[in-house]
Each structure stands twice: as structure tokens, then as C-alpha cells.
Amino acid sequence: MPTKLDSAQQTRAKLLAAATEVIRAQGTQHLTLDTVAKTAGISKGGLLHHFASKNALMQALLEQFLNRFQHFIDQYYQQEPLAPGRWLRAYIRATFADEPADLETGWLLLISLAEEPAFITQVQAIYRQFDALALQDGLPAARATIIRFAADAYWINSWLNGIPNETMRSALLDELLRLTHL
């Protein structure tokens, strides 16, 4: 039987989903408490009950996104054989596998967060962590970094210009994976 706590979690998720939807459909400029609340079908007071401030809402949004991406990486990492470039290949696949909607949302999210110094710090930390992992992956440092950069830009580009057609997409994926060998 669903308890109150369960329903609270559900409401939180609904609000998070609404915020994501608002960003995707209307851009970060319309990410206001009123808009999010209305989209979620909940009052502003209700929203503020679950997220003490707009900042808290965005923080939760960021964490959700980062966790999802990390989860993708872990998943692909398990599937890759133990060899130099293993982590990078997992990173590449995670980048290419992510859903378009998530891509877009994540990017727009980063954009909207970029104005908040606290969030930038957080993203920096993640980046440094990825950087360290890439450098320990058994490939020359410059090569490893460039591969990671290219994957990141693929992600950004997908948001800006849409996912490329399938032949180009798989060609990019293949080329990136190829660069992790040698």
C-alpha cells in the first residue's frame, strides 16, 4: 500500500519531470516556479514544500542528470573487456547512447546552471574526475583527452543541430572507438 512518503517521492519526481519538460519545450528562460508548478499540475506552494527554493530544484535536476549519465558509463564499462581505452570506450558509448531528450535537457540544464557559481564548481568537479579517469586509461594523455573532448562536443552538437543521420552517427562512433586503439 502506498504510504505518504511514497506519494511524496512521486510528487518530487513529477516536479522534476515538469521542470525538465519546461526547459525542453520553452527554454531555460521560462523555468520559473510558477511555470514548473503549473506544468506539474501542482501549486507553487506545493512545489516550494518539496524544493525549498528554485536553487534546490535546479540542484536536484543537476544531480538527476549526472547520476543518469554516470549510470550509463558504469553500465557500458562492465560490458567492455579489460584493455587500454576501456573507460574511454564506455564514455563514448554512454555519450552516443543517451536519449536525445536527455541530451538536450542535460545541455540546457548545464546552460541554465552556468550562471550559478556553485553549480559550475560542481560540474568542474565531475569534469576533473572524468579527466583523471581518461588519463588513467592506458592511452597517451593527449589522445585520451582529445577523444573525450570529441565525445563531449558530439553531445553538444547533437543538441545544437540535432542528432546526425544514422550513417554519420555510426561513422563518428566507429572513428572515435578506433582512436581508442593503437
Q: Which residues bind a copy of itself (CB under 8 A)?
A: 27-29, 108, 111, 114-117, 120, 123-124, 127-128, 131, 140-143, 145-154, 156-157, 160-161, 168, 171-172, 174-176, 179
List the single partner that 55 binds among a copy of itself, DNA, none, CB under 5 to 8 Å by kind.
DNA
Element containing residue 80 per DSSP (H, E): none
Q: Which of 107, 110, 111 is nearest to 159 (CA)?
A: 107
Q: d(Cα 33, Cα 37) in Å, to the nearest integer? A: 6
Q: Which is nearer to a copy of itself, 1 or 182 (CB)?
A: 182
List the single partner that 32 binds among a copy of itself, DNA, none, CB under 5 to 8 Å by kind.
DNA
Neighbour-count burial for 8-39, b at 16+ CB within 10 Å, e otherwise: eeebeeebbebbbbbbeeeeeeebebebbbeb
Q: Which three cell numbers stand for residue 117?
A: 557559481
Site for DNA in 38-77 (CB under 7 A): 41-46, 48-50, 52-55
Q: Which is nearer to a copy of itself, 64 or 180 (CB)?
A: 180
Cell 557500458 maps to which residue? Answer: 76
List the single partner that 48 binds among DNA, a copy of itself, none, CB under 5 to 8 Å by kind.
DNA
Amino acid at 36: V
| Binding residues vs DNA (CB under 7 A) | 3-5, 7-8, 11, 29-35, 37, 41-46, 48-50, 52-55
